[in-house]
Amino acid sequence: MSSQSGTPSVAMVDPRAPRFGQTMTTLGMAAFVVTGNPAPLYAVTAILLTSVATGWRVDMYGFLWKRVLIPVVGKPDQPEPASPHRFAKLMGATFTAIASVAVLAGFPVVALAVAAMVGLLAGVAAALDLCVGCRMYKQVRFFRELGVV
């Protein structure tokens, strides 16, 4: 992506949108952990994997945020870079996929543990604005800039 001046542009996001997605992920993982019904796990996995696989063009959380909630809460004061949030969503997609495969492979305890971890991290990110995936992204970028990775 580049702007008309030829300098690269950075994808920006309403900072409340990832919190909404993290809240939805937390609710889905909690529903799976509490009930043992894998449907919420599969739904969250499908939403996250579709978002990643389509390069963020098909994102149900983003769609709901833009179409349903923005008209209610209004536009953001200050957008922020999307890359750390996308990395965090990639991590969520990876681990919910692992939990889904664990259910299908007959390892429900592994699935519950992984889903509980995803739900806990997403809940902390949504409630406290402490996104572990975003912090991981920044650390990887730091090491990339140093030439380590």
Query: Do the beta carbons of residue 48 and residue 93 sit within 8 Å?
Result: yes
**pLDDT score, position 2:** 43
**pLDDT score, position 3:** 45
Calpha distance 54→72 (Å, rounded): 27
Query: The whole model's pTM is what?
Result: 0.89
**pLDDT score, position 149:** 60
Maximum pairwise Cα distance, the chain: 54
**pLDDT score, position 147:** 75
**pLDDT score, position 1:** 46
Query: Do the beta carbons of residue 89 and residue 52 sit within 8 Å?
Result: yes
Low-confidence ranges of the chain (pLDDT < 70): 1-8, 149
Question: DSSP E strands: which ranges in the chain?
Answer: 12-13, 80-81
